[in-house]
Structure 1
């Protein structure tokens, strides 16, 4: 059932039954747009012909009477072919150019109009959810993306952090030499007397086959270690200076033989003019004999550097320095030796070379 679009909805008409000969399509969709044609209504009456509302009825009046043209107050029956109603169906202004039912034909009072049930047109929606209009509207507030990194800190904080890093590096650089100095002093006070494969006596000055007081103090300490059973072998090491008749190693071996050490228990490695060259030569002897560890005999302040070099050449070593001789008698000499060994150790770490400062003790 449909209701006339007069704004009041107080009068209705019934939908006709679908007819195969009729041009009006049968549809159950009450909201669909339909075109009303007078050719499809054989019996049509009109009642209340006013400027506001025109209601069309297909049958008799409710009281059973059929309105006639002689009833001016009631609904008048009309025929599409009746010449009296030509003005209702023909528009002189559009005659020959457009039909009343043609789309886009102008609305003329007194003629049949197309009834269209308009639907509200849905506006296209953009992906952002705002209707598609020419006016984009106020700009949307941007939200920070998830996972976005926080804003960088001010440069002032970076400068402060950089200053702290530089300060820490400088403090560390300034603290390393004193720390190394203390390490040299601490190692000089250690005495490792565990069993090893051999006792290695590092060379010092000799005078035509006679060990200097510093070298003699080392040899005497090696004799004590051998007698205590620390190692079954003694290795003396050291070359000679230009013009010398004896090497440091040979002078040390001769001295040990004179004090009662069997000659077959002594190996003289007559090579090396500094600590690094001597350790390299000793490492070859250890490889030939299959030895792994050693007890290093030297001055107390020389113990750390010789131990580091031996470890770098594959010899697991401990230190047992001599506690007698000119190198340990005076305080001033001790401070000089510790400072010299600290500088020599750093020189070795940086340049991988030896910087021995030979001391000729009387």
Structure 2
């Protein structure tokens, strides 16, 4: 019984340390912005309401549009499928919004199949290959960036991080639930990743 108790305490301590480490990684990486020019900004999808990007999605798109206007990327690659009920695909809504912001539609690419972050990046990689795009700037909310970049790198993509500087998640009331969600998914992804690829 003593051996079992010590083993449980040790496992509990290791899990606590691991949980603290993953939380630190997410928070510290959320502040990382890389500025090397790339072939395209991959904008990770978010909700669409009545055919229009949600406020969260708009901030991501605005950030990517600014990268394009500042010649930090040559193209924009929007990701995200439809939630159903005849709703417009996230990528389609993003492309229309970006065009309205002055982006030349010839510099816009899309994937419209995915529903989750891993799918965003898998299908984006396929779309990019079809158009000769090889290097990427990932765009999402700051707390999402660690998991997104980990997935992209596991997929063999050449990526840098550029979180939306004006994220819709500005207050602790909005940041904490988003952080806890990302901590849960990132921790799970790290634990399961050896079995995924």
What is the TM-score when the length of structure 1 is the normalising length? 0.50
From 215, 218, 224, give the equivalent of 2:60.
218
CA–CA separation in structure 1 for the residues paired with 2:137 and 2:94: 16
Give 1:306's aligned residue. Answer: 148
Shift of 1:342: 1.0
Question: RMSD of the alignment, in Å?
Answer: 2.2
Deviates more, 1:295-304 or 1:314-323: 314-323
Give 1:227's aligned residue. Answer: 69
Runs of 5+ in structure 1 lacking a partner? 1-161, 353-362
CA–CA separation in structure 2 for the residues paired with 1:302 and 1:276: 12
Q: Does 1:265 align with 2:107?
A: yes
CA–CA separation in structure 2 for the residues paired with 1:168 and 1:290: 50
CA–CA separation in structure 2 for the residues paired with 1:175 and 1:263: 48
CA–CA separation in structure 2 for the residues paired with 1:306 and 1:205: 17
CA–CA separation in structure 1 for the residues paired with 2:192 and 2:64: 31
Runs of 5+ in structure 2 lacking a partner? none
CA–CA separation in structure 1 for the residues paired with 2:49 and 2:9: 52
Deviation digits for residues 215-259 of structure 1 (CA, Å, limit 9, x no counterpart): 001110001111111110100010001213310000000001111
Change (3 A) 1:286 1:164: same
Structure with greater proportional helix content: 2
CA–CA separation in structure 2 for the residues paired with 1:346 and 1:170: 15
Higher relative contact order (CA 8 A, sep 6+): 2
Q: Does 1:289 align with 2:131?
A: yes
CA–CA separation in structure 2 for the residues paired with 1:296 and 1:173: 30
Note if contact 1:198-1:235 (Cα within 8 Å) is conserved in structure 2: yes
Deviates more, 1:241-250 or 1:301-310: 241-250
Question: Partner of 2:38: helix, strand, or coil?
Answer: coil
Give 1:336's aligned residue. Answer: 177
Give 1:250's aligned residue. Answer: 92
Deviation digits for residues 161-209 of structure 1 (CA, Å, limit 9, x no counterpart): x998876554322201111111100111111121111101111111232
Q: Does 1:349 align with 2:190?
A: yes
Q: Does 1:177 align with 2:8?
A: no
Note if contact 2:142-2:167 (Cα within 8 Å) is conserved in structure 1: no
Deviation digits for residues 314-359 of structure 1 (CA, Å, limit 9, x no counterpart): 11211111132432x211221222221011012223345xxxxxxx
Give 1:198's aligned residue. Answer: 40
CA–CA separation in structure 2 for the residues paired with 1:332 and 1:168: 34
CA–CA separation in structure 2 for the residues paired with 1:290 and 1:258: 25
Note if contact 1:213-1:325 (Cα within 8 Å) is conserved in structure 2: no
CA–CA separation in structure 1 for the residues paired with 2:124 and 2:36: 20
